[in-house]
Structure 1
Amino acid sequence: MRTWLITGANRGLGWHIANAAIAAGDNVIVTGRNLEKITEAFSGYDAKKVVTLALDIAEEDQIRNVVQSAVAIFGKIDILVNNAGYGQLGPFENNSPADIDNQFSTNVFGMFNMCRAVLPIMRKETHGHIFNIASIAGLVGMPGASVYCASKFAVVGFSESLAQEVADFDIKVTVVSPGSFRTDFLDASSAHFGSADIPEYAEFSRKIRDSSERNNHAQQGDPAKLGSVIEQLALDPQAPTHFVVGSDAVQIASDRLNSRKLELEAWRELATSTDTPNQG
């Protein structure tokens, strides 16, 4: 029987991934910043198999405590799902240094610290699978989301490198890049907008906010289906390092690959002109 540790599980993608793991009969540790909310989200489940713990992944001491508790309760951690995160939106100049620090503390450094705490356990077992939830915004830059995109690009690059570093320990790393799924991501409770007011960006910012409100809970992706897919990938020894999910994300990623290839070929001659002449 497998043991999962899932961050940011009180709602959204994390909640659905946890429910898919529970339905598969696995042991699951679900975490969220507010213990009351995470407990309520999983009330009615067998407390011996579904454990709820408070965790703010921006706090290293809380991460250590949760990981220690997980091992004390179930003896191991087979699957780590780094799902906790949020979107810091708006133009770059509208985002203060504090806004950016908070975004990276959760989306990037919190994920780093979760991996740092769990990897020694997986290395000891010579087994494990880490899922880092990124976004299609980690593959394609988007206006009005420069800070969020930067954080998710970091998740993608880190995951690709980490996968190669831990492969010899039979630990897999999959970075999941979803498109738009019908969650609370665009709610005011999740999406944050820059705190710096710059009049020149007022109209652009209004368009970003209007678009967020229009698309909130109208996204085409079904988070329950994504939860089931993650559970399936956790069983597959051939699970990919990169998993782009959602028809919109697949199309966006495909278009970006094609445009990058065209750009690379258009500038190949100039780019390769920088080589040192062959002295032989």
Structure 2
Amino acid sequence: MKKTIFITGASRGLGKIWTEAFLKRGDNVVATVRNIDSLNDLADQYPQNLLVLTLDVTDKKASFEAVSKAKSYFGAIDVLINNAGYGHFGAVEELEEQEIRAQFETNVFGLIWLTQAVIPIMREQKSGHIIQVSSALGVVAFPTLGIYSASKFAIEGLSESLASEVAAFGIKVTLLEPNGYETDFGGASAIQSNPLEQYDVVKKALHEGNKPEDNGVPSATVTAVLKLVDAENPPLRLILGKAGIEWIKHAYSERMKTWDEWQDVSVAAHGK
């Protein structure tokens, strides 16, 4: 069935790939970008099905206005995909205050504004699906990506709570958790803190441990995302990529091991 999909961060990478996939199968798409020219190719191909809006997701007022325009243009919003975001690389000690705030303004606050804007529409429709693009690094954390992981961990907690809050309105919530992909996540779209030489060894080890096969092929995500959008009962969490599955399984295995080892201390701390 034809859907109307609102997606942020659609100018490149996974966002643009998914936007094109939705259009190819006949969905209506509202795609938000910083630079409207980045989607000229798709706008020329799909003039009836694509509405391109410029949006800085950190602007709350503009985010609400974009959602209102989308509703007026297509009459409904069936799916919101909060995809806008970027990676910040830097050890915790290296992070500047403004870098920390900027990471959260885009990755967390921007997502919240769009989510808040779309809920009343979906509640009135008695249906809808909010897809939050988190990360495998929203479940496990790697060195020198702490602030990025912190932003994604925040999205995980927020969205798990949200899912319980809106279920009675017919609204579904999914956390999409990709591992690394062959995009410019670590390149042009990333921010790097000013380095401290004390962390050179840590960064070298992380770089050497990043195997090429751990990074997935972006186009391979299309089938999974279309299946997710079409699912009658979508999962709360969906990992994209085989590397992410292994990272998360290992992390939870280690966590359970530690919690079990310290269970007596934990129970005693209850006090009754």
Q: TM-score range with shorter-chain normalisation?
A: over 0.9
Q: What residue in structure 2 maps to residue 264 of structure 1? A: 259
Q: How does 1:131-280 map to 2 (within 5 A)?
A: 131-187=131-187, 189-195=188-194, 197-205=195-203, 220-277=215-272
Output the amino acid matched with 2:199: Y
More displaced 10-residue stretch of structure 1: 100-109 or 226-235: 226-235
Rate the CA distance shift 1:259–1:192 in 2: closer, same or farther, 3 A: same
Rate the CA distance shift 1:15–1:92 in 2: closer, same or farther, 3 A: same
Distance in 2 (CA, whole Å) between partners of 1:211 and 1:51 is 42
Measured after TM superposition, the shift of residue 225 of structure 1 is 2.0
Rate the CA distance shift 1:47–1:211 in 2: closer, same or farther, 3 A: farther
Q: What residue in structure 2 maps to residue 21 of structure 1? A: 22
Rate the CA distance shift 1:165–1:268 in 2: closer, same or farther, 3 A: same
* 1:130 correspondence with 2:125: no
CA contact (8 A) 1:89 1:145 kept: yes
Distance in 2 (CA, whole Å) between partners of 1:73 and 1:211 is 49
Q: What residue in structure 1 maps to residue 46 of structure 2? A: 46
Distance in 1 (CA, whole Å) between partners of 2:217 and 2:6 is 22
Distance in 2 (CA, whole Å) between partners of 1:123 and 1:99 is 35
1:238-268: CA deviation from partner (whole Å, max 9, x where unpaired): 2100111200001111111211111111110
Rate the CA distance shift 1:207–1:251 in 2: closer, same or farther, 3 A: closer
Q: Quick one: percent identity of the two aligned structures? A: 33
CA contact (8 A) 2:43 2:50 kept: no
TM-score of the superposed pair, with normalisation by structure 2: 0.93
Aligned length: 271
Higher relative contact order (CA 8 A, sep 6+): 1
Measured after TM superposition, the shift of residue 41 of structure 1 is 4.8
Q: What residue in structure 2 maps to residue 5 of structure 1? A: 6
Measured after TM superposition, the shift of residue 46 of structure 1 is 1.9
Measured after TM superposition, the shift of residue 95 of structure 1 is 1.0
TM-score of the superposed pair, with normalisation by structure 1: 0.91
Distance in 1 (CA, whole Å) between partners of 2:213 and 2:34 is 26
Q: Which runs of 5+ in 1 are unaligned?
A: none
Q: What residue in structure 2 maps to residue 75 of structure 1? A: 75
Q: Which runs of 5+ in 2 are unaligned?
A: none
